[in-house]
Amino acid sequence: MVVADAKEKHGMKRTTYRRLAKVTLQGMLTFVAMNLKKMANCLWKRLCLFIFLPINRKKRKFSLFNL
């Protein structure tokens, strides 16, 4: 799945360089960018949950007699 995403979304179908060192560097930079993107999405989801679901809610017990 990761290699497929790199191929389709990040231009890794064909390399632009010819030597092993440069191709390796291009691959590393691509996968670093993909990991940063995943991390940013994860942090954004956590931030949204933190904003919309406040932690300090008072718990109330409801019953028919305590209205």
Q: What is the per-residue pLDDT across 6-64, written as a single tens digit (0 to 9) for each?
A: 878 877 888 888 899 999 999 899 999 999 999 998 888 877 766 666 555 556 666 66
CA distances from 42 to 7, 61, 64 (A): 22, 34, 42
Query: pLDDT tens digits, residue range 24-39?
Result: 999 899 999 999 999 9
Which residue pairs, CB below 8 angstroms and at least 24 apart, start in 10-19? 10/34
pTM summary value? 0.62
pLDDT at 5: 79
Q: Counting Cβ atoms within 10 Å, is residue 4 exposed (0-12), middle (13-18) or buried (19+)?
A: exposed
